[in-house]
Structure 1
Amino acid sequence: MKTGNQNFILLGLFNHTGAHQFLFVLVLIVAFTSLVGNALMLLLILLDPRLHRPMYFLLSQLSLMDLMLISTIVPKMAVDYLTGRKFISPTGCGFQIFFFLTLGGGECFLLAAMSYDRYVAVCHPLRYPVLMSWKLCLSMILGSWLFGAADGLMQASATLNFSFCSTHEIDHFFCDAPTLVRLACADTSVFEYVMYICCVLMLLIPISLILISCSLILAAVLRMHSNEAFKKAFATCSSHLSVVGLFFGAGIFTYMKPKSYRSANYNKVVSVYYTIFTPVLNPLIYSLRNSEVKGALQKCMDRCAAYE
């Protein structure tokens, strides 16, 4: 690394005014809710045999990624705000970039895999065990983790090997590759082009597959001429697309905008959506609309009450 032993300084998201203190507490509440909700989803899927199916195994991986994403970003941000010590070492910065991109990129592909699962379940229910076998399910999950890790490793190592100018202040609440590149003294045009290509692969391809899957689902349901089936399919697609819209929209805004148009304040606010707010939506959307998950939760609560 060419950063030497000099630490970076994270300027953070909040200052110490009353309004920002309220927002800080609100973010902590949302993050805690996300941790509890995703941990509960993991526990229910693990304990209930009725949920041991590819659909729920994909959902368990989504909850795991969200748990790790929150744990990568929020604790450091909270400690920095409460103690005023906003330093982060080059190694710590590299690990944040790696884990953030691994989890964020992996979640992009995982959401695409989940949309394929729903397409097969709705359009080819009789062939579901063949078209969505456990082998394919595990391959998609492993691929999601590996593609995300490859992107994270590449960007973390490349970013921290730039020569940085005298200022080491990162105008963000975590180490983010596009923000860190702005501090580099060297020519970063080649790296930014490669990063743009990675964004196309990690963002545009998965979201295209998701939109195609939802379109095929709605087209198939319309041919059934059933209002009940259409409402169920529309609810499934709309809930999935609401998560996809927030997550991918914020990612595209941050990573695919030209460098000259990037505003630090806007980037920080948008980053909150896909690092803190989107993870809390996943367990709410995928559990409250799912009778099997609600049944598993009720069963777990009944067991807990029986032990009292």
Structure 2
Amino acid sequence: MQVINQTTVNEFLLLGFQNLYGFKIFFFFVVLVSFLGTICGNLLIIWLVASVCSLQSPMYFFLTQLSFSDLILTATIVPNTLYILWDEGGTMSFSGCIFQYYFFACSEASECFLLSIMAYDRYLAICYPLRYVTLMNNVLCIKLAIASWLSSFSIVLIDTISITQLQFCGSYIIDHFFCDFTPLLELACSDTYFLEIELLILCIPVAVSPLIIIILSYIYIVQAVLRISSNSERGKAFSTCSSHLTVVSIFYGTLIGSYMIPSKGKSLAVSKVVSLLYTVVTPMINPIIYSLRNKDIKDAMRKKILKTMNHFKIGSVS
């Protein structure tokens, strides 16, 4: 029996973005502003939906769940990314790396489920408007939200446990700004074939099935809208879906660009930029898209601002 002397890896060195030179402070500032914007924007949507009666509907309830998912993603990735950017690299323990991957993957999986539920909600609202309140009741909304979160945490747990069974030895350098699936597999000195097959199988319920539900929902939505004779009503129906479609396009576009394009076909720099899009930029622009393209959200924000200003005026007069 041949004994191979290998050192077990207990921590990883994440390189982040090297050779930024004079752009380091600017890049750090951009990521920091995106981080603060994500936190404020998503908390604002959660607060508005919870406090404004006109926004307490299934569509906005699921929007708050999407905001929670974005907050988890941001809190998991961005603070450590800022540290790595500032120090031009940083170490992370093996357990910390696994936990980061787990919560990152959970937030991505939950977003897939929630976007499909939101598409199904729009399908019921447009195709069955008279029965919508009965079909998409509060109990069903809560059950769908709980199911999406439980499914995310359970499915990702299977994948994460499999990663912990890998042997990491030799190199401990990850040329990335967070612990993602592919960089971890590249460092493993044990066979990863079955783990890669497992991931492909798990992608079917997590990413592929939700995308199919979204596509089918919008096929029926388009057919229903085209049957509407009034142009104004047709435009109103499409407008209720435009924000969701935009978010779906950005989310799945960056996801496909990062995980489905072969790594040989793109450089490490491109891979990092794409990862930066769905971990930093997308969570920030989601609340912006829903705020700027949604009349109900804008009206609720306007009323809250006016109410706050009137409150201050009354307080200053008294």
TM-score between the two structures when normalised by the length of structure 1: 0.93
SS for the counterpart of 1:125 is coil
In structure 1, the residue matched to 2:128 is: 124
SS for the counterpart of 1:87 is strand
Q: Does 1:17 align with 2:21?
A: yes
How far is 1:5 from its partner? Answer: 6.3
Matched ranges for 1:1-308 at <5 A: 6-84=10-88, 86-258=90-262, 263-308=267-312
How far is 1:261 from its partner? Answer: 5.1
Whether contact under 8 Å (1:97, 1:155) holds in the other structure is no
Distance 1:262 1:196 in 2: 21
Distance 1:269 1:56 in 2: 31
> Percent identity at matched positions?
41
Indicate the larger mover: 202-211 or 12-21. 12-21
Distance 2:277 2:44 in 1: 21
1:131-175 Cα distance to aligned partner (Å, 9 max, x none)? 111121111111111121123222222213211231111111111
How far is 1:64 from its partner? Answer: 1.1
1:167-192 Cα distance to aligned partner (Å, 9 max, x none)? 11111111111210111111101100
Q: How many residues align?
A: 307
Distance 1:14 1:237, change over 3 A: farther
Whether contact under 8 Å (1:163, 1:185) holds in the other structure is yes
- Partner letter of residue 44 of structure 2? L
Structure of larger gyration radius: 2
Distance 1:120 1:49 in 2: 21
Distance 1:42 1:26 in 2: 24
SS for the counterpart of 1:207 is helix
Tell me, which stretches of 5 or more residues in structure 2 are unaligned? 1-5, 313-318
Distance 1:299 1:237, change over 3 A: closer
Tell me, which stretches of 5 or more residues in structure 1 are unaligned? none
Whether contact under 8 Å (1:101, 1:151) holds in the other structure is no
SS for the counterpart of 2:306 is helix
